[in-house]
Amino acid sequence: MHPPYWPQACAHLAARDSVLAGLIAQCPASVVRSRGAALETLQRAIVGQQISVKAADAVWQRCVALLGHPNEAAQWLAQPDEALRSCGLSGQKVRYVRGIAAAFAEGRLNPHRWPHLPDATVQAELVALPGVGVWTAEMFLMFHLTRPDVLPLGDLGLINAFKLHYGQQWRTPTDLKGWQGRVVRYAAKHWAPYRSVATWYLWRSLDPHEVGY
């Protein structure tokens, strides 16, 4: 299901930013969709770390074939390490997905609380999990909770798209931190409170294939 605020967000962004107006017009049917399964979203994000979207999809499909029900913690915990590695997971990622599954199985996480908590609180709980850094937590906020105003500055796709579409407007920074600072300032002025939606369309400008977690 897609977020109810999406049409309003698109209208808001198109009115304030001519670049985004063009990008939204190019793919009007594109929208982020929540899979509605907290554990599955987190495990998909772990699978997708540091590999291409295509490779991540292939690994995930092998995990699904092995597990049957990837949103059930017990299924992850029941598999031997060798079986999970055979899906294409590194030894480190096997430890991560096991640790996350254990947190769900043992009741150390209560995902039913998260829709009612602010972004920062959810992010703090998530980054305490093994293998979950800020970027993974931001992907969870965007794709599972469909929060409207997440700005994932650690995502190189966002930075590269921003360089492509906005880099000629000013004297350009020479390093990543300089670009990140430029994105923060521009987004605060032109994109808030829908920075997640702006990020989505900037991603689509580099790759029309819709990412899902």
Per-residue model confidence (pLDDT) at position 173: 73
Q: What are 59-96's pLDDT values in tens digits?
A: 999 999 999 988 999 999 999 999 999 999 999 999 99
- pLDDT over threshold 80, residue 23: yes
CATH annotation of 6-24+150-206: 1.10.1670
Per-residue model confidence (pLDDT) at position 159: 94
Q: What number of CA atoms fall less than 13 Å from residue 187's CA on the CB side? A: 23
Mean pLDDT of 133-137: 93
When pLDDT is cut at 50, 70 and 90, the band that residue 34 belongs to is confident
Token representation of residue 84: 């999970």
Integer distance in angstroms from the first to the last C-alpha of the chain? 13
Token representation of residue 3: 């977020």
- pLDDT over threshold 70, residue 98: yes
Listed in order, the ranges of the chain carrying CATH 1.10.340.30 are 38-143
Listed in order, the ranges of the chain carrying CATH 1.10.1670 are 6-24+150-206
One CATH from 3.40.50.1820, 3.40.50.1100, 1.10.340.30, 3.40.50.1980 for 38-143: 1.10.340.30
When pLDDT is cut at 50, 70 and 90, the band that residue 36 belongs to is confident
Q: How many CB atoms lie within 10 A of CB 84?
A: 22
Q: What are 166-205's pLDDT values in tens digits?
A: 987 766 777 888 889 999 999 999 999 999 999 999 999 9
Bigger pLDDT: 110 vs 118: 118
Per-residue model confidence (pLDDT) at position 162: 95
Say how far apart CA 101 and CA 75 lie, in whole Å.
9
Token representation of residue 202: 């900037």
Per-residue model confidence (pLDDT) at position 4: 95
Bigger pLDDT: 101 vs 69: 101
Per-residue model confidence (pLDDT) at position 212: 73
Say how far apart CA 200 and CA 157 lie, in whole Å.
10
CB 198 within 8 A of CB 25: no
> Is pTM beyond 0.85 here?
yes
